[in-house]
Copies of this chain bind each other. A is one copy, B any other.
Amino acid sequence: MPASVLITCGNVVGRLWLHFSAVYIITGITCYLLYHEYKYISCKRLEYFMTSKPLPQHFTVLVRAIPVSDGVAVSDAVDKFFREYHSSTYLSHTVVHQTGKLRRLLNDAENICTKLTNLKYVHRSSQDAPRKFLGLFGRNDVLGKYQKRLEDVEENVRLEQSDATRRQEIPAAFVSFRSRYGAANAIYIRQSDNPTEWQTEHAPDPHDVYWPFFSTSFMERWIAKFVVFVASVLLILVFLLVVAFVQGLTYLEQVEKWLPFLRKILEIAVVSQLVTGYLPSVILHVLSSYVPSIMKLFSTMQGFISVSGIERSACNKMLRFTIWTVFFANVLTGSVLVQVEIFLNPKEIPSKLAVLVPAQASFFIAYVVTSWTSITSELTQTAALFCHLWGKCAKCCRRDTSEAPSMPYHSEIPRILLFGLLGFTYFIVAPLILPFVLVYFCLGYFIFRNQLFNVYAPKYDTGGKFWPIVHNTTIFSLVVLHIIAIGVFGLKKLPLASSLLLPLPVLTLLFNEFCRNRFVPIFEAYSTESLIKKDREEQSKPEMLEFFSNLVTAYRDPALKPIRRASNSDERTAPLLASSPI
């Protein structure tokens, strides 16, 4: 063997060992950063709790699966139970009602109201001279007709609200206590001898409660959980099939074979370019824009009762969805069955990934670069702008009463974490992707920072409860990196490096387990220490009396609050329908 080949060989091996140590170093640094970030965020969370003013959700517990014997009202059952077992701390309770019909009526009223306001606005802006709007209808009595309908609906709403017997009680209630520690007692110690009855959990912020869907019985929720799991797996499978079909569209011959009657049209150059070039990505984008809402619907069905809980659960589902349909579906090109096959053969995974992942490097670099556009479009809010314009045209100059939007965490977090996964998995096989990912993260940092401060209005505050999702995904990405590295060293005939890497995923998972023990409890519950300190601090404050009197009605279904017509003084700015303050 000539000397130069030997030297090259030595160089290659040397470079591989450099890669080997790089994997250890990057894992070490990541774990160090993850630990400190977890620590920092949990400290922030504790600080947030200790400095917060009294919040209803800290004093309240949601009780579900309340066992009711015939002839006893849910309300009486709850009162009796908590007066007996929590006599010293029990304050009040609010039973949840089925308010589906009422909610529909209120929606109707609001719609009519908006139309009425818009009409009045148009009417007035045309200087009291009625004109035919869009040349179709503009007669003066339209106003009177809407007014009449609004009064009818409002009458119905009042009837429905006042007639308690017509509403069905749901065996669930918000129970409030005199102290945070009292509420914690009711949550963490099982209430009933039968674990499927009197199930308690943290109550969400009153504004965060998702009222329309309130499934309650233990069995119902348990079955729903299983059904949703199956449904979300099916959704991934169906989506993978759709992706395979759509990718077929990029080949003109394929399209002509599927749809022979279109052959004539497809022969026009512009049409064929549109079909093969734009149509697939448009279909995919449209379809994938519906996925977050479907995932949110699934989470709703699972029995989460707060918007934040639903979005957190939807975030987890979206994460799995994104990782499968974007990362694995592109890496393991081929049918669903082929993809599943690989995971049924765990011994082969590292070597297969080591071959398949680098092959897609250029695709993912392009993916990252095109994502720069999507993240900058976040800044311009193009989609929202188009929606707004469309709404304006279609709904006859309706006044824009929409509130500031809230950040869609469940669709944004998985997208950002996907780039973390890409960065880690390509760290060893195609480091060229790293600067592009870095640019994405830098752009993302500045853009989202701006959006969070200036554009989005927070709808709820979880106190950092989304962080564990980020932590877990990063650990997952690290383990995928290790598996790929093991495969790469195996392929490059460096079995020693391959075996020396084996402890790394184990150590990473142990580190994760340690973090789970050390930090996760902080995100699940506050400690006796904090709760009692906070309770004592406020014990003697005079404003607590007012807080408690507000707490009694804090968890009333907004649909049951009396509707109130705004004063006639300034109809142009005041909404016609408004809930009375608590």
Q: Which residues of A contact B (CB under 8 A)?
A: 46, 84-86, 181, 184-186, 188-196, 218, 222, 226, 344-347, 510, 514, 517-522, 525-532
Contacts and interface: CB of A to CB of B under 8 A. Distances in A.
Contacts of A528: 85-86, 185-186, 189-192
B85 A518 contact: no
Contacts of A193: 46, 522, 527, 529-530
A525 B528 CA distance: 19
Contacts of A222: 514, 517
Q: Name the prevailing secondary structure of the A interface residues.
A: helix
A180 to B, nearest CB: 11
Nearest to A181: B189
A501 B545 CA distance: 63
Contacts of A525: 189-190
Given A193-B46, A195-B519, A532-B85, A510 B188 contact: no
Which 3 pairs, one residue from A and one from B, show the smallest C-beta to C-beta distance? A195-B521, A188-B188, A190-B527
A204 to B, nearest CB: 20
Contact of A192 (B345, B347, B529): B529
B527 A192 contact: yes
A529 B222 CA distance: 24
* Most chain B CB neighbours (cut-off 10 Å) among A226, A521, A522, A528: A528
Nearest to A49: B193
Contacts of A529: 85, 191-193
A518 B195 contact: yes
Contacts of A218: 517
A518 B196 contact: yes
Given A195-B522, A519-B195, A189 B188 contact: yes
Given A226-B510, A514-B222, A189 B185 contact: yes
A226 B510 CA distance: 9
A253 to B, nearest CB: 35
Contacts of A192: 527-529
Nearest to A525: B190
A33 B42 CA distance: 46
A28 to B, nearest CB: 19
Contacts of A226: 510
A44 to B, nearest CB: 13
A528 to B, nearest CB: 5
Contacts of A514: 222
A84 to B, nearest CB: 8
Given A185-B185, A345-B345, A346-B344, A517 B191 contact: no
Given A189-B525, A344-B347, A346-B346, 19 more contacts: A46-B193, A84-B532, A85-B528, A86-B528, A185-B185, A185-B528, A189-B527, A189-B531, A190-B525, A191-B528, A191-B529, A192-B527, A195-B517, A195-B521, A218-B517, A222-B514, A222-B517, A344-B346, A345-B347
